[in-house]
Amino acid sequence: MKVYVDADACPVKDTIISIAAEYELPVVIVKSFAHFSPNDEQPGVKTIYVDTGAEAADYRIMKLTERGDMIITQDYGLASLGLAKGCSVLHHKGFAYTNDNIDQLLQTRYLSAMARKSGKRTKGPKAFSSEDEQKFIRLFRKTIEETI
């Protein structure tokens, strides 16, 4: 199993890398060239840079993943594709995407987009908290232990 991280806006990259190292799992960080850093190289971590296009990281992750891999993303579309491919998919706020919840999440995203398109204001996501990080850590460890 490999852990793929949709990394441009992921606040738990360091946590993922640290925990994955404990289990000797390889981590693949996928992010746009706009977020390039010469300090990205770390043992056990491969960083892949993609163009700055809207779904470039998503497409690359889907090209690389295999059944049984894990994807960390906040993108519902990528999550849906990952589930269909047989991957475990987690959100950095500490919940797992499942075949039971993905349709509702996609529907909510669609309705919010339509509301914004018609001029209505919608609430953005709540700020990432230390409680969210703790939920993620528990879920990430549990998912790894159930998978390996």
**0.75 cut: is pTM over it?**
yes
Residue 38's pLDDT is 67
Asked if 16 and 91 count as a contact pair (C-beta separation under 8 A), the reply is no
96 forms beta bridges with 90
- Answer with the residue of higher pLDDT: 38 or 56: 56
SS3 call for 106: helix
Structural domains of the chain in order of their starting residue, each with its CATH number: 3-147 (3.40.50)
Does the pLDDT at position 97 exceed 90?
yes
Residues 38-62: what's their mean pLDDT? 88
Instruction: Give the separation between CA 51 and CA 64, rounded to whole angstroms.
Output: 16
What is the average pLDDT value for the chain, to the nearest integer? Answer: 92
Q: At what angle do helices 76-84 and 102-117 cross, to 10 degrees?
A: 150
pLDDT band (50, 70, 90) for residue 102: very high
Main-chain dihedrals φ then ψ at residue 65, nearest 5 degrees: -70, 155
Q: At what angle do helices 76-84 and 56-64 cross, to 10 degrees?
A: 20
pLDDT band (50, 70, 90) for residue 51: very high
SS3 call for 3: strand
Only one residue has tokens 């990259």, namely 13
Residue 101's pLDDT is 94
pLDDT one-digit tens code per residue, 79-88: 999 999 999 9
How many helices and strands, by DSSP H and E, does the chain display?
A: 5, 6
Q: Which helix (H) or strand (E) holds 145?
A: helix 130-147
SS3 call for 146: helix
Asked if 62 and 56 count as a contact pair (C-beta separation under 8 A), the reply is no
Q: Tokens in use for 19?
A: 């925990």
Cα dist from 124 to 106, 127, 128, whole Å: 15, 9, 12
pLDDT band (50, 70, 90) for residue 37: confident
